[in-house]
C-alpha cells in the first residue's frame, strides 16, 4: 500500500497496520516495517494445573500441566473470564522484566516439574494464537524434551496459522462459543465458519475437545445445541469428540443476567448426547 501499511495474516480481521500501530488483538503491531507479536515471551500467568481444568477430560486424565498465558485476544466476548489479560494491550507488562520468559526457560521449567506430575505446557488464559510464534518456538523445545503441547484457543485464526501450529500440537481445547454466525459476528467479533474450519482441520491431526459456555439468552436453546452437536458428529470420528457445556456466571461486560440455571446445562447435555458420546457439564 502507498502509506506503507501491511495486512496482518493471523486472523479473519486482517488488520491493516502502519508503523507504530497495533491490531485489534492488541498483541500484534507494525514495528520497523514488519508485523510482529508484541507479546512474544511476555507471560502474565504461570501455574501448574490439573489437566481437567483446561478442560481436557480424555487426554492424560489425572495428570498436571504447566499453564502459561500472555495478553491479547482477537475476539471481544462480553462474558470473557480472563478479560484483565485477554483485553490488555500489555502496557503494564515489560518484556525485559520478570514478565519475560524465553521459550528455552519455559521448556526448562516444564521439564523440572515432571516430578510433580507435569506432562508439558498448555498455552491458555488469553488467546495464545495471536502470538503463535512464541507457541511455535516453545512447542519445538517442549517436544524435544518429550513433553506434550496443549493449546486452549478460540480457533478464530487463518489456515496459514493452523498449518504452522497443528503439526506441533498434541491436544487442543477449542471454544465453539455458539452455533450462530450472526452471534459470532455481532456479539463476539468472530467468524463461525473460520472456527469450524479450524476444528475440522485440528481433529485430523490432534486430540481435540470443545467447550461451549452456555449463556442465558445467547446460545441456550436446545435447537442450537442440537445443531452444534450434529455438526461435530458429522466430522470424521466426530461422535467421539468430547464437548464441555459449561455454566455461565456474570463477568466483564455481561452482568445483565444471572448464572445459567443448572437444569438448563443438564438439559442441553442430554440434547447434545443424542449425537455425541462424550458430553460433560462444567462449572456446576
* Strand order, beta sheet including 243-247: 45-50, 64-69, 118-123, 148-153, 171-175, 207-214, 243-247, 279-282
pLDDT bin (cut points 50, 70, 90) of residue 96 is low
Q: Where are the alpha helices (DSSP H) in 70-221?
A: 83-86, 103-112, 132-144, 159-165, 181-183, 192-202
pLDDT at 276 exceeding the cut of 90? yes
pLDDT bin (cut points 50, 70, 90) of residue 184 is very high
- Which pLDDT belongs to residue 1? 40
pLDDT digits (tens, 9 = 90+) for 210-224: 999 999 999 999 999
- Which pLDDT belongs to residue 90? 60
d(CA 142, CA 167) in angstroms, rounded, equals 13
Which architecture characterizes domain 6-282 according to CATH? Alpha-Beta Barrel (3.20)
Residue linked to cell 440434547:
271
**Number of neighbours of residue 182 by Cβ within 10 angstroms:** 9
- Phi and psi at 164, nearest 5°, equal -80, -30
Cell numbers linked to 71: 495478553
Strands (E), 136-261: 148-153, 171-175, 207-214, 243-247
pLDDT at 93 exceeding the cut of 90? no
Query: Where do the domains of the chain lie?
Result: 6-282
pLDDT digits (tens, 9 = 90+) for 11-35: 999 999 999 999 999 999 999 999 9
pLDDT at 231 exceeding the cut of 80? yes
pLDDT bin (cut points 50, 70, 90) of residue 191 is very high
pLDDT bin (cut points 50, 70, 90) of residue 86 is confident
- Which pLDDT belongs to residue 178? 98
pLDDT bin (cut points 50, 70, 90) of residue 82 is confident
pLDDT at 61 exceeding the cut of 70? yes
Query: Does the pTM of the predicted model rise above 0.85?
Result: yes
- Which pLDDT belongs to residue 122? 98
Question: Of 197, 193, 226, whose CA–CA distance to 212 is shortest?
Answer: 226
Share of the chain above pLDDT 70, in %: 95
pLDDT digits (tens, 9 = 90+) for 123-182: 999 999 999 999 999 999 999 999 999 999 999 999 999 999 999 999 999 999 999 999
pLDDT at 3 exceeding the cut of 80? no
Question: Of 233, 218, 219, whose CA–CA distance to 274 is shortest?
Answer: 233
- Which pLDDT belongs to residue 81? 87
Whole-number average pLDDT of the chain: 95
Amino acid at each position: 500500500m502507498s502509506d506503507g501499511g501491511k495486512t496482518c495474516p493471523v486472523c479473519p480481521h486482517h488488520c491493516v497496520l502502519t508503523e507504530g500501530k497495533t491490531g485489534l488483538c492488541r498483541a500484534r503491531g507494525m514495528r520497523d516495517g514488519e508485523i510482529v507479536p508484541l507479546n512474544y515471551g511476555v507471560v502474565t500467568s504461570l501455574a501448574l494445573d490439573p489437566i481437567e481444568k483446561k478442560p481436557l477430560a480424555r487426554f492424560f486424565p489425572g495428570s498436571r500441566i504447566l499453564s502459561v498465558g500472555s495478553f491479547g485476544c482477537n475476539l471481544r466476548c462480553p462474558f470473557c473470564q480472563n478479560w484483565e489479560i485477554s483485553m490488555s494491550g500489555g502496557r503494564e507488562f515489560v518484556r525485559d522484566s520478570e514478565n519475560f520468559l524465553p521459550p528455552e526457560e519455559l521448556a526448562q521449567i516444564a521439564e523440572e516439574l515432571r516430578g510433580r506430575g507435569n506432562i508439558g505446557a498448555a498455552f491458555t488464559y488469553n488467546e495464545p494464537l495471536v502470538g503463535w510464534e512464541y507457541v511455535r518456538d516453545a512447542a519445538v523445545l517442549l517436544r524435544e524434551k518429550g513433553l506434550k503441547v496443549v493449546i486452549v484457543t478460540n480457533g478464530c485464526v487463518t489456515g496459514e496459522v493452523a498449518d504452522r501450529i497443528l503439526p506441533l500440537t498434541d491436544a487442543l481445547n477449542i471454544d465453539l462459543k455458539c452455533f450462530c454466525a450472526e452471534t459470532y459476528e455481532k456479539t463476539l467479533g468472530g467468524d463461525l465458519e473460520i472456527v469450524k474450519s479450524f476444528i475440522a482441520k485440528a481433529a485430523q491431526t490432534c486430540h481435540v475437545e470443545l467447550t461451549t459456555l452456555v449463556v442465558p439468552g445467547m446460545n441456550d436453546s436446545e435447537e442450537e445445541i442440537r445443531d452444534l452437536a450434529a455438526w461435530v458428529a458429522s466430522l470424521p470420528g466426530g461422535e467421539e469428540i468430547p464437548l464441555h457445556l459449561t455454566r455461565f456466571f456474570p463477568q466483564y461486560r455481561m452482568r445483565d443476567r444471572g448464572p445459567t440455571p443448572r437444569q438448563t446445562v443438564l438439559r442441553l447435555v442430554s440434547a447434545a448426547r443424542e449425537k455425541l458420546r462424550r458430553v460433560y457439564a462444567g462449572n456446576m
